[in-house]
Every structure is written in structure tokens, then in C-alpha cells.
Structure 1
Amino acid sequence: MYAEERQQAIAELISTRGRISVADLSSTYGVTTETVRRDLAILDRLGVVRRVHGGAVPASALTATEPGVGEREYTRAEQKDAIAAAALDFLPPPGGSTVLDAGTTTGRLAALLSSERELILITNSVPIGARVAPLTGIKLRMLGGRVRGTTQAAVGEEALAALAWLRTDVAFIGTNALSLGHGLSTPDSDEAAVKRAMVRSANHVVVLADSSKIGREHLVSFARLDDIDVLITDDGIDDNDHKSLTDQGIEVVIA
């Protein structure tokens, strides 16, 4: 196979499968990892793929755009429901405290809470706050600040100042993307700042992310992988990604 043919085949494979490692491409096409890296460098310059730590992703996987809550609510809904149900096992004991990040998967977790559960819950999400407020066993604390229309989440100095004084048992964090090289990331810097503060405020960090987020990267990183204790995802996670994350000391739970 000529180099040009191999590069075209690599581009088509990445477009179909999403993130692929250098090692997998080397094995698939029977060439050295150095040759694969040269092929990826050429494809990256052409704007066909984007190189990430250990491999490559489709060019569309690296983006600064952000879909709104309404658009994301029904995307991969079955997987998000399963992830939220699995997250119940990681709630603190009665009377404990948790931070619940804004997001459609964390919102599903909030929808599973009942009045019988005794919990201090802190959130920056307007929809989550509205959903939890009537539950008598839950002491709700809303973070203030400017509310972003895209995510319906409070961001800015008020939210950051409140989080700086908190130490919670568990933080449930959503993310737009997760990769080995860039950690957890999101398109908006204000949103990233609040997520970063939530991670720092918690003794235990549980990330809720369906498998489509894994191997992707967005503009602003808000946490390293070693900041995470648990990742709850679905069975669509790539075996290599699963191993890489567990090698980082992360408990990976398949919902």
C-alpha cells in the first residue's frame, strides 16, 4: 500500500470509529508507529484529523462550539439514564453533602432523588435547583452569579467565591470532553472555572460522561485525570480508553 493510500484509509477509519490510537493503526496497517505518526501529521496539516495524545480523532471532535441544554437533553438519553442510576450508589450517607454540576446527565441524577433522602445539595444549575427544591429531605443551596442561557448554569465570581469556602463529600461533575492529554474540558472559560472550583471543593469526584465524550477535547481544560476518583460511563467506551483510564487510578463504572 502506497503512503497516500494508507493515509486515505487511516482518515476514513478515524472518521468512522472516532478516536484511534497510534498503536492500533500501526497494527492494522503493518507499519511502524513512527510511520503512523508521520501519516497523522500530514492528515492533521490537511485538516482531516486532529492529533491527540497517543492517537488521533476526527477534525470535528475538537471544537469550541457548545450545544444548548434542549439539544443535549435527548442525545444518548438511554445511556444518560443508566449513568444517572449508577451514580446513586456514590451519593454520600444521610446528612452528607454533594455538589451537583449543571448538565443533562447530572440533571437525570437529580430527577432520581426523593424526599426521603437526607442530603445537603449545592448546585449552579437552575433546572436542577427547581427540580430538587420541593424535596423535603434535601437542603438545597443555590450558587449565585450570571446564568448562561446555553447551559442554564450560574457562573462568575459569585459562584466561585461561594465554592471557595466549601468542602463537600462528593462532587458529581459533567464534562463536554475527556482525554488523556487534555483532561476534562468544556468550550466556555466561565463554565470551566466553576467546574474547576467544584472539583477542588470535593473530597470525592465522580464524573458522569457517556462514552461519546471520551477521546474528545474542547477549548478549556478544567481538571486533570488525577483529579478524578470515578468515571461512570456506558459500554460504548473503547477498550484501550478503559485500560488507560484505570491505569491512571480512576475507577471506571460501566452503567
Structure 2
Amino acid sequence: MPPNGSQARREEILRLATTTGLASVEELSRHFGVTASTIRRDLARLTADGRLARTYGGAMALNAHPEAPLRQRTGEAYAQKRAIARWAAAQVQPGESLLLDAGSTIGALAHELRTAQDLTVATTGLTVLHELADVENVHVECLGGTLRPLSRAFVGPLTEAALERMTFDRVFLSADGVTADGGICEADLRQTRLKELMARRATHVYVLAHAAKLGRAPFHAWTTLSPGWTLVTDSEATGTDVAAFRERGTHVVLADAVAELPAGAPPALPADGAGG
């Protein structure tokens, strides 16, 4: 008998996608004895969580490169992310207005900005909000919208509408992968559209991505790199990778990562109740 609870039903949808290839919304609706709108909500949630990739007409397939949750990614390449964050924070001048994306490296940057003076920081990321919420010398603006639990970031039309009312001195973008010809790769088209809009609102654009992300294209949503943007990576990046970006007009900075473990835990994330 098909499961009744929404979470159990979603898990069964994933199992069916793997085993029998049950594809359409109509088939799933009949199988579970629920409405098509209920199934669409299930599929939307599974897609937002990075566990399912949907195709035209409601067909579905498991994502070949499941998106890792932000909590898992926070501890990866810690020294490299910390070096990138330190370099990025050093570019910021008192009195500037910053736009911070979401992501673990951006969270590390927010941690570095806790000692900054007289900043305005707008962000789409819960991690940034958590890091800067109690800092007296930083004025924080939250760009609300639809929360993506896996990335702990806001996306969608409300986020985009808020951006139209603001401009910034610098924007710092994250990436799941970045290639010289394709640009910034993400799991969700809403993310890449938002990054494009964010870049338009700032004078200086930085992409923060440690060396392991260079040349990677794990998903199929893209933001094009524009000439004049700055890619900040770490010293493990190969000469070939760096040359490919520079040939297309991207400035590349190699931040020296000190081989060290954090003195404490990585910058804390909000509790699970605040987002997935």
C-alpha cells in the first residue's frame, strides 16, 4: 500500500524513480491516491532539496550529482575557504555597501567581516545573517523570498524585486562549480538568474571558489562570467585553469591557504529549525 505521510510519499517517489522509472505526475497521482497538485508540490520540494531533477511534462530522474547540503559543505576545504575569505574581506573599505550571496565560502567571508567598521551588508544567505546579526558596526539587510533548504538561501521573484531597489560597491558570489567557458554552475536556475541580477547591481564583482571547483560542471544551470569580474580561488589552482579564465578577461587571484585546522568549529550555521 502506498505511504500516506508526505515525507514517506516523497521517499517512495525517489525509490520508484530509481527502480521502475515511474515518470508522470498523472501516474504518481493514481499510484498514491492523491491529487496532481499534491504530487507537484512533492516534486517541487524534492527538486528544491536537490534530490530530484525534473524534465518537461512532469517526467523525472534522479539528479546525477546530488546537491550536498550547506552544513556538509561548510567543513570541506576549510583552509582554502578561509584564505579566500580573508583576501576578500581585505578588499572591503569602511563605509561600503556589500551584497553577499549564500554558501559556505561566503559564510567564511561574513565571519571575517565581524570586525569591519561602518558597513551595509545585504544578503540572500541565512549563514551571513547568523554571522552578522549581533555586529554593531554592520547594518544588515535581508533579501527575502523563497527559502531553498539545501543552500539555506533565499531565491525567487521577491528576492529579485528587492534587488531592484539597491546598488552596491561590491558583490561576492558563490559557485558549486565554475568553468572559463560556461561560468558559474549551480543546481537551480533560480540561483543562477539571481547571481546574474546581483552582479548587475554592484560596481565590483567577485566569485569565490576554491580550486577544487574550477573546471567542474556538476549541474545544468549557469551564470556567464563577464570580463572584468574577479575570480578568487586558492593557490592549489593549476596554471592551466588560471590561464583559461584570464584568457577570457577574468581577473584571477590566488589566495594562499595555510595548512591549518580551525581553532574551533567552522562558522556556525543556524539550527536545523531555521532552514534545511
Same fold, judged at TM 0.5 (above): yes
* 1:207 aligned residue: 207
Distance 1:144 1:64 in 2: 28
- Secondary structure of the corresponding residue to residue 65 of structure 1: coil
8 Å contact kept, 1:160–1:193: no
- Counterpart in the other structure of 1:128: 128
Give 1:95-244 correspondences, 5 Å limit: 95-217=95-217, 218-222=219-223, 224-226=224-226, 229-244=229-244
In structure 2, list runs of 5 or more residues that go unmatched: 1-62, 256-276
The question of whether the paired residues in 2 share the 8 Å contact of 1:63 and 1:219 is answered with no
Deviation of the 1:116 alpha carbon:
4.6
Counterpart-to-counterpart distance in 2, 1:241 and 1:127: 29
1 CA distance for matches of 2:213 and 2:90? 22
1:215 to partner: Cα distance: 0.6
Measure the CA separation in 1 of the matches of 2:234 and 2:64: 23
Whether the 8 Å CA contact 1:116–1:136 is kept in 2: the answer is no
| 2:85 aligned residue | 84
Secondary structure of 1:190's counterpart equals helix
1:115 and 1:136 in contact (8 A); partners too = no
State the alpha-carbon separation in 2 of the partners of residues 86 and 134 from structure 1: 23
Amino acid at match of 1:121: V
Q: 1:125 to 1:228 in 2, by over 3 A?
A: farther
Instruction: Summarize deviations over 1:190-242 as a string: whole Å, max 9, x none.
Output: 222222211111111011100111111221012x2225521111122121111
Deviations 1:137-167 (A, max 9, x none): 1110000111111011011111000112222
- What letter matches 2:80 in structure 1? Q
Report sequence identity in percent.
30
Q: Which moved more, 1:129-138 or 1:225-234?
A: 225-234
8 Å Cα contact 1:64-1:187 kept in structure 2: no
Aligned partners of 1:125, 1:185: CA distance in 2, in Å?
18
TM-superposed deviation, 1:115: 4.8
CA–CA distance in structure 2, aligned partners of residues 151 and 232 of structure 1: 21
CA distance in 1, matches of 2:64, 2:181: 16
Rounded Cα–Cα distance in structure 2 between residues aligned with 1:114 and 1:186: 28
1:248 matched residue in structure 2: 248
Unaligned runs of 5+ in 1: 1-61
More strand by share: 1
Report the 3-state secondary structure (helix = DSSP H, G, I; strand = E; otherwise coil) of the residue aligned with 1:134: coil
From the superposition, tell whether residues 235 and 115 of structure 1 become closer, same or farther in structure 2 (CA, over 3 Å).
closer
Distance 2:208 2:116 in 1: 23
Report Cα offsets for 1:153-191 as digits up to 9, x if no partner. Answer: 011111000112222110000011111221111011122
Q: Give the 3 Å change call, closer, same or farther, for CA 68–227 of structure 1 in structure 2.
A: farther
CA contact (8 A) 1:205 1:227 kept: no
- The offset of 1:94, in angstroms, is 1.6
What is the TM-score of this pair, normalised by structure 2? 0.66
Contact 1:145 1:158 survives alignment (8 Å):
yes
Residue in 2 that maps onto 1:73: 74
Shift of 1:244: 1.8
